[in-house]
Every structure is written in C-alpha cells, then in structure tokens.
C-alpha cells in the first residue's frame, strides 16, 4: 500500500505538509510531493480537503489458504506460565471464533506436562510441545530454531506473543526467519469482517498516535501484545485437548549464547500488572522518600506503588515500577497519580484504569484531563488525610 498525490486535484494548500507525522511531504511548484520518509500511514489522506491524496493497494496476491489456526507462544519462566499467556489465550479465543478456526499454544521447556494441562484448561485446543534440556531457560537461538520449524511444518495464520523482554526478542527473530511481518506491542486486535485478516492497533510516536497495522500478503500474521491489556481466558478445570510433540534436535555450537547465571532483583513487577490498586508517584514527590508515603496508602488498600518515568530516570526508584509507554501497562480498579504531570507516554500506560485519581499542586497539569476525580493540593497533606478516612 502506498500514498499518492492526485496532481490534478492538488490545490497547493499545504495542509498535508503540516499534518504529516513523519515530515514526509514537501511542496514543489505548489503541488504536494510525497518523499522517502512516507510510511503510508494515511493521515494526509484524511486531512486533504480536496481528496487529492489517495492510498493505493498493491496487487500482490499469494496463496495464503494453507495457513490456519491461531497460535499463542506459551512463555514459561521457571516452569510457570507468564500471566500474559492467559491474556493471549483469551484474545486468541475471540479471534479464532471470528475466523472460525482453533487455538493452539506452543510451549518450550525441559518439562511441560503440567503446563500443557494448564494451557488446555485456559482454552488451547492443541498444545505443541518442544521438550529438551536446552529449552529450560529462554535463549534466542534455541527457541527461534524450534518454533521456526514448527511454523514451517504446521503453518499457523496468526501468532501472538507477549511483549515481554523474551517475546520482544523472539518475535522479531521468528518474523525474519519465516519471512513475514510482525507488529510490536499491540493494544487491540480485530478481525476484518470481510477478508478475515487481522488488524493490529498499537501506539506509535511515544503514544501520541495510534496506528492500525495489517500484514496482507505474508503468513503467519504476527503480533506481540502488551501485557496487562487483554482480558484473561477463563479457566475450565479438566478441559482436554490434543498434545503434539515437536522434534527437537540441536547441533553442537548451534546455540551461540550461554547463560552464566540468572539474578532476581525487584520482585514486584507481577503485582504491578495484577494490582487492583496502584499508587503512583512523579517528580512532584520532591524526593525519593516520598514513595514511603505512597506505600502506606498502597498497603492500606492492598495494592502496590508505581512510578512515572521521570522518577526512574532520576534514580529514585527501580525501572520495574515504571508505568507508561516504555514501562508497564496497567489497568487497576483505582490508579492514584500523585505529583505526576501526565505526559502522554505515562497516560498511554494507565488510561484504561477503571478510576483515575489525580493529586497535583498544578491545576493545569494534563493529568487532570484524564482523571475521574481531581484534587489540586499538596500530596503530603492530601494523602495523610485520605489515610485517615480509610
């Protein structure tokens, strides 16, 4: 798909030049000219008051009908499924129902029988098992090889991976090996009702813009999905499915990295995505000790603390607490934003919380634009007052 200026209709108003997020349009002799930086996003098509810009479809058609089924990468660490896997299965179920196909999970590890039953219970119709001592912990070369072979053999039409530090490493490698596209960090997936292809929506430009991406002529269609965004699959005890063992063989030196050790530091991350209550702090705290007050409120509610990027960059708190575009996406029942101004990158990670409460000294802070309840005041007075009321 590409964007084209219809020269006869262009009036030279240059509205498209201003609207282009990628600075890809210039005026030459009072006619808009689309340059190299064009990504085909189509913003200018909608902006042009004279319908002088159009999107053209490419006419490449391949036989894609061999590819069937929705796959989920069942990421495990230390023999436990990552919470995002349950979310992927929930989403995969919905997509598969709309397409009229089934859901499979791919699990790699040294021992996967218990995980297989768990995956069946969460809705997988089939589980492809890759079992080998070398697959106990994730390593790029090993997992890429095994899953690439499975894709080539069984030909899924859609593959979903969690946008974790592992999924964001594996996904790109698989996409190149299988010669297909990958859309990163999706927050919404839809099936086109006409052609049953997937539409993948993701934030771009630091959350300033949402882009819906398609992968029309390559298979499988691949997405990594932000943890904490999709609804979890339902657990049905005793649900059964079909387990399929994959052939796994490694040659010597085929896996080119060696894990010397695994070191655990902050242990709170899982509780950030699962937390019902999050009390988050920004630079308005004034100092790192401010998080202690937030912790009191979080503890009282049975929740956890979070942070804006600015506090992480200032070294006040570990990055695993960061909420936002480059941190964790959260959707708790209540999100307290304390001394957080509300940069778009932060909003991108917490806007789907059920209730947002903003406490800030600056009444013009953008955070109030998304808050259900806004309190203009000193958080060091307001939070102790809230604690008294609880």
Instruction: Please give the residues from 218 up to 247 whose contact with other proteins meets the rule CB under 8 A.
Output: 218
CB of 237 or CB of 260, closer to other proteins: 260
Cβ at position 50, least distance to other proteins in Å: 17
Cβ at position 38, least distance to other proteins in Å: 5
CB of 289 or CB of 388, closer to other proteins: 388
CB of 116 or CB of 345, closer to other proteins: 345
Q: Are 242 and 126 in contact (CB under 8 A)?
A: yes
Cβ at position 285, least distance to other proteins in Å: 16
One character per residue 144-173, x = contact with other proteins (rule: CB under 8 A): x-------------------xx--xx-xxx
Q: Are 305 and 294 in contact (CB under 8 A)?
A: yes
Contact flag: residue 279 with other proteins (CB under 8 A): no
Residue 58 has phi, psi (to 5 degrees) of -80, 150
The site for other proteins, by CB under 8 A, has a size of 106
Kindly report the length of the chain: 390
Cβ at position 31, least distance to other proteins in Å: 17
Q: Are 154 and 128 in contact (CB under 8 A)?
A: yes
Q: Are 45 and 54 in contact (CB under 8 A)?
A: yes
Contact flag: residue 280 with other proteins (CB under 8 A): no
Contact flag: residue 83 with other proteins (CB under 8 A): no
State which of residues 6, 176, 236, 242 lies at the interface with other proteins (CB under 8 A). Answer: 176
Cβ at position 237, least distance to other proteins in Å: 29
d(CA 387, CA 390): 5
Of 214, 187, 215, 204, give the one whose Cα is nearest residue 21.
204
CA angle 115, 119, 120 (to 5 degrees): 120
CB of 234 or CB of 313, closer to other proteins: 313
CB of 245 or CB of 361, closer to other proteins: 361
Residue 260 has phi, psi (to 5 degrees) of -80, -45
Tokens (6 digits) for 168: 């964001």
State which of residues 31, 64, 326, 331 lies at the interface with other proteins (CB under 8 A). Answer: 326
b/e code 121-136 from CB counts within 10 Å (16+ = b): bbbbbbbbbbbbebbb
Contact flag: residue 14 with other proteins (CB under 8 A): no
């Amino acid at each position: 798909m590409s964007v084209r200026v219809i020269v006869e209709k262009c009036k030279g108003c240059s509205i498209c030049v201003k609207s282009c997020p990628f600075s890809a349009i210039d005026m030459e002799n009072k006619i808009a000219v689309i340059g190299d930086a064009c990504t085909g996003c189509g913003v200018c098509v909608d902006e042009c008051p004279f319908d002088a810009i159009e999107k053209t479809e490419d006419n490449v058609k391949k036989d894609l009908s061999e590819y069937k089924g929705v796959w989920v990468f069942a990421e495990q660490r230390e023999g436990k499924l990552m919470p995002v896997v349950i979310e992927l299965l929930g989403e995969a179920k919905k997509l598969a129902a709309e397409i009229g196909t089934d859901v499979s999970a791919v699990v790699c590890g040294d021992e996967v029988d218990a995980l297989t039953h768990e995956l069946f219970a969460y809705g997988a119709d089939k589980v492809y098992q890759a079992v080998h001592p070398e697959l106990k912990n994730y390593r790029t070369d090993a997992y890429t090889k095994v899953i690439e072979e499975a894709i080539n053999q069984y030909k899924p039409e859609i593959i979903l991976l969690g946008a974790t530090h592992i999924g964001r490493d594996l996904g790109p490698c698989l996409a190149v090996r299988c010669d297909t596209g990958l859309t990163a960090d999706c927050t919404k997936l839809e099936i086109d009702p006409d052609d049953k292809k997937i539409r993948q929506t993701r934030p771009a430009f630091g959350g300033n813009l949402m882009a819906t991406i398609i992968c029309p002529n390559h298979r499988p269609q691949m997405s990594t999905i932000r943890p904490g965004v999709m609804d979890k699959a339902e657990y049905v005890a005793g649900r059964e499915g079909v387990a399929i063992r994959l052939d796994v063989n490694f040659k010597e030196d085929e896996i080119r990295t060696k894990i010397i050790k695994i070191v655990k530091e902050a242990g709170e991350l899982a509780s950030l995505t699962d937390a019902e209550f999050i009390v988050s702090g920004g630079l308005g705290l004034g100092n790192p000790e401010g998080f202690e007050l937030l912790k009191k409120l979080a503890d009282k509610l049975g929740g956890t603390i979070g942070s804006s990027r600015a506090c992480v960059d200032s070294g006040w708190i570990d990055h695993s607490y960061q909420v936002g575009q480059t941190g964790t996406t959260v959707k708790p029942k209540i999100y307290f934003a304390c001394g957080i101004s509300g940069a778009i990158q932060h909003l991108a990670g917490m806007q789907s919380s059920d209730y947002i409460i903003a406490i800030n000294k600056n009444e013009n802070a953008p955070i109030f634009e998304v808050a259900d309840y806004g309190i203009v005041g000193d958080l060091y007075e307001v939070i102790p007052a809230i604690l008294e009321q609880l």
